[in-house]
């Protein structure tokens, strides 16, 4: 999506969601429509289109934005036009929410998002020294729920207390809502809670994460590889948990891109002519 594009199609926008290059998605449906809806676009934040001057001033002008209203008409075009007039790279989601739904693209549970991450930046807390689930879950949060989410890593014994003191959402620890459920790992729980289990590539990523995280390499051929890479990254990172997230996100971005766009590709030797 270039800065010159006034519209972005649902499929073109979806290709960028789930990557580090995704634009920030601003939902500008009318308040009554937004509040009565039970779904939201992935990684979106709602802003009142009739009070745009108050929140536009706080936007990061260096970022790219996609603006979505109900059907891609006056509210999103008005908002994008104001941003573009200020030199901000902003495009309108073609067809708005209706166009996205008609294209059959994934949506996030609004009830879960509003309860756990009502306003960016949301705050989350888990055990330090992440390896698999505690990298996969932040990746899912940042790519599909709240791109501005902040993650705190503390000793296991302090997670509950830090959650109480800060209001952070605890995850991947015993007793938390967002944790293991039977043989399923915390990544599975988050997919279920946010309504993302039906997204085909995420559904294929889930057993890879679960197999690596729960010593079940039989669940997916890629699970053993993810385990090896994750343990290697952890050994290199030491106590640099946030540095590990940066490196680990590249791994999950690549896995997700492979599942979406390249899983059918085969590599062999000798190389074949293109």
Q: Are residues 71 and 128 in the same domain?
A: no
Number of domains in the chain: 2
Predicted pLDDT at 268: 84
DSSP for 175-229 reads T-SBS-BTTB-HHHHHHHHTT-TTSHHHHHHHHHHHHHHTT-GGG-TTHHHHHHH
**Residue 74, strand partner residues:** none
Confidence of residue 3 (pLDDT cuts 50, 70, 90): low
- Give the domain extent around 143: 111-262
Q: Is residue 99 part of a domain?
A: yes
Share of the chain above pLDDT 90, in %: 93
- Within a domain: 272: no
How remote is the C-alpha of 45 from its chain's centroid? Answer: 12
Establish if 22 belongs to a structural domain.
yes
Q: Half-sphere exposure (CA, 13 Å, Cβ side) for 114?
A: 11
pLDDT at 4 over 90: no
| Alpha carbon 23 to chain centroid, angstroms | 12
Clarify whether residues 36 and 125 are in a common domain: no
Same domain, yes or no: 176 and 214: yes
Do 151 and 49 have their domain in common?
no
Residues 198 and 252 in one domain: yes
The tens digit of pLDDT for each residue in 26-42 reads 999 999 999 999 999 99
In a shared domain, residues 242 and 193: yes
Q: Are residues 118 and 100 in the same domain?
A: no
Q: Which tens digit of pLDDT belongs to each residue from 160-181?
A: 999 999 999 999 999 999 999 9
Strands 39-40 and 24-27, sheet pairing: unpaired
């Amino acid at each position: 999506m270039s800065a010159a594009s006034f519209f972005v199609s649902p499929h073109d926008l979806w290709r960028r969601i789930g990557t580090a290059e995704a634009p920030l998605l601003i939902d500008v449906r009318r308040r009554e429509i937004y509040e009565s809806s039970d779904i939201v676009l992935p990684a979106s934040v709602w802003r009142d289109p009739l009070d745009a001057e108050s929140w536009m001033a706080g936007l990061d002008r260096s970022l790219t934005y996609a603006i979505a209203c109900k059907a891609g008409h006056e509210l999103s075009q008005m908002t994008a036009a104001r941003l573009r007039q200020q030199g901000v790279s902003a495009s309108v989601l073609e067809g708005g929410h209706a166009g996205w739904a008609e294209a059959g693209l994934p949506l996030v549970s609004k009830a879960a998002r509003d309860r756990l991450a009502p306003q960016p930046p949301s705050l989350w807390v888990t055990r330090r020294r992440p390896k698999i689930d505690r990298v996969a879950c932040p990746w899912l949060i940042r790519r599909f729920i709240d791109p501005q989410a902040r993650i705190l890593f503390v000793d296991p014994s302090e997670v509950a207390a830090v959650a109480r003191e800060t209001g952070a959402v605890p995850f991947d620890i015993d007793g938390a809502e967002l944790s293991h459920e039977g043989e399923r790992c915390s990544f599975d729980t988050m997919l279920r809670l946010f309504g993302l289990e039906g997204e085909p590539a995420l559904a294929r990523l889930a057993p890879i994460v679960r197999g690596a995280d729960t010593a079940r390499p039989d669940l997916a051929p890629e699970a053993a590889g993810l385990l090896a890479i994750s343990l290697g990254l952890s050994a290199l990172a030491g106590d640099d948990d946030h540095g590990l997230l940066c490196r680990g996100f590249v791994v999950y971005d690549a896995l997700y891109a492979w599942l979406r766009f390249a899983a059918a590709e085969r590599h062999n030797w000798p190389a074949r002519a293109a």
